[in-house]
């Protein structure tokens, strides 16, 4: 086939798909039962037609319908396979996240740093015994033979290191006690939230009482003088 005839055949195929697009979408929709996916299949078929080697076609429309039908069947099988292996949507909330919780990761990192600091503060022989036994699973009798001490002493060194690390962890990771507010502070804060800022007299009752006494002194003096005159 000459290049000119091959190019004309490819053009006829694309022209046929464009002119009969509604028919091709209907063919795919009968298989997929989804208009949007059917239109995607027709678009994929057009792209595939552009990449095909040009060949002479007796019926471009029949060829286009066959291509669209095959692509729709492939997409339907792929969707069915994904649905068969995927978890139900109702269980999506119960599935574990692929990434670790950042807060938990931060807590683990802080705990590891705390343990490392605690081990650094131990005697070298005690630290070595603890690391060999707890991390490398070396038996205590082998550690005792390597250090030239008794297995009983190795046991006490490991327990001492473990208690030391636990105490450091408790001191660092234990929740800090919350500051308790005095009843007067709570009442004052509640009053401010409800009525706005309290007047100075409510915040300083002693100063208010002293000012009231100063204001009442002249009146009391006048009453006493009137009583004496009578």
Helix H, strand E, coil C: the string for the chain is CCHHHHHHHHHHHHHHHHHCHHHHHHHHHHHHCCHHHHHHHHHHHHHHHHHCCCCCCCCHHHHHHHHHHHHHHHHHHHHHHHHHHCCCHHHCCCCCCCCCCHHHHHHHHHHHHHHHHHHHCCCHHHHHHHHHHHCCCCCHHHHHHHHCCCHHHHHHHHHHHHHHHHHHHHHHHCCCCCCCCCHHHHHHHHHHHHHCCCCHHHHCHHHHHHHHHHHHHHHHHHHHHHHHHC
Considering only residues 225 and 230, tell me which one the structure prediction assigns the higher pLDDT: 225
| pLDDT > 90? residue 40 | yes
Start-end ranges of CATH 1.10.1740 in the chain? 3-85
Fold of the domain built from segment(s) 3-85: Rna Polymerase Sigma Factor; Chain: A (1.10.1740)
Query: What pLDDT is recorded for position 91?
Result: 61
Q: What is the CATH number of domain 104-173?
A: 1.10.10.10
Start-end ranges of CATH 1.10.10.10 in the chain? 104-173
| pLDDT > 60? residue 46 | yes
pTM over 0.75: no
pLDDT digits (tens, 9 = 90+) for 166-219: 998 888 776 666 655 555 555 555 555 444 444 444 444 455 455 555 655 665
């Amino acid at each position: 086939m000459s290049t000119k005839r091959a190019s004309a055949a490819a053009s006829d195929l694309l022209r046929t798909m464009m002119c009969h697009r509604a028919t091709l979408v209907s063919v795919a929709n009968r298989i997929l039962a989804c208009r949007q996916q059917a239109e995607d299949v027709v678009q994929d078929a057009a792209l595939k037609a552009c990449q095909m080697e040009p060949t002479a076609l007796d019926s471009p429309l029949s060829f286009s319908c066959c291509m669209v039908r095959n692509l729709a069947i492939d997409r339907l099988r792929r969707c069915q396979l994904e649905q068969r292996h995927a978890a139900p949507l109702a269980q999506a909330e119960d599935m574990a996240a692929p990434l670790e919780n950042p807060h938990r990761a931060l807590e683990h990192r802080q705990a590891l740093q705390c343990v490392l600091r605690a081990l650094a503060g131990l005697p070298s022989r005690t630290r070595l015994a603890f690391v060999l036994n707890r991390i490398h699973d070396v038996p205590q009798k082998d550690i005792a033979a390597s250090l030239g001490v008794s297995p009983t002493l190795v046991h006490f060194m490991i327990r001492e290191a473990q208690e030391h690390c636990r105490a450091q962890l408790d001191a660092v990771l234990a929740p800090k006690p919350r500051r308790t507010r005095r009843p007067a502070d709570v009442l004052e804060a509640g009053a401010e939230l409800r009525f706005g800022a309290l007047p100075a007299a409510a915040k300083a009752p002693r100063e208010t009482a002293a000012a009231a006494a100063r204001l009442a002194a002249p009146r009391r003096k006048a009453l006493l003088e009137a009583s004496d005159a009578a």
